[in-house]
Amino acid sequence: MTNAQPASASGTYSLGGDLPIHRLGYGAMQITGPGVWGDPADPDEAVRVLRRAVDLGVNFIDTADSYGPFVSEQLIRKALHPYADDLVIATKAGLTRSGPGDWRPVGRPEYLRQQLHLSLRNLGVDRIDLYQLHRIDPQVPLADQLGALVELQQEGKIRHIGVSEVSVDQLKQARELATIVSVQNLYNLANRQAEDVLEYAEANGIAFIPWFPIATGELARPGGPLDTAAKEHDATPAQLALAWLLRRSPVMLPIPGTSRVPHVEENISAAEITLTDAEFEALTAAVS
Q: Residue 218: what are its φ and ψ, rounded to 5°?
A: -65, -20
Question: Residue 35: CB partners within 8 Å, gap ≥ 6?
Answer: 99, 100, 101
CB 150 within 8 A of CB 110: no
Give Cα separations from 247 to 96, 144, 171, 244, 277 (angstroms).
34, 37, 24, 5, 10
8 A C-beta contact, residue 243 and residue 237: no
Buried/exposed 137-157: b ≥16 CB within 10 Å, e otherwise: beebebeebbebbbebbeeeb
Residue 163: strand, helix, or coil: strand
Q: Catalytic pick from 13, 67, 83, 187? A: 67
Instruction: Produce one character per residue of 7-26: b if its CB has 16 or more CB atoms within 10 Å, e if not.
Output: bbbbeebebbeebebbbbbb
3-state secondary structure (DSSP) of residue 160:
strand
> Is 67 an annotated catalytic residue?
yes
Instruction: Report the catalytic residues.
Output: 67
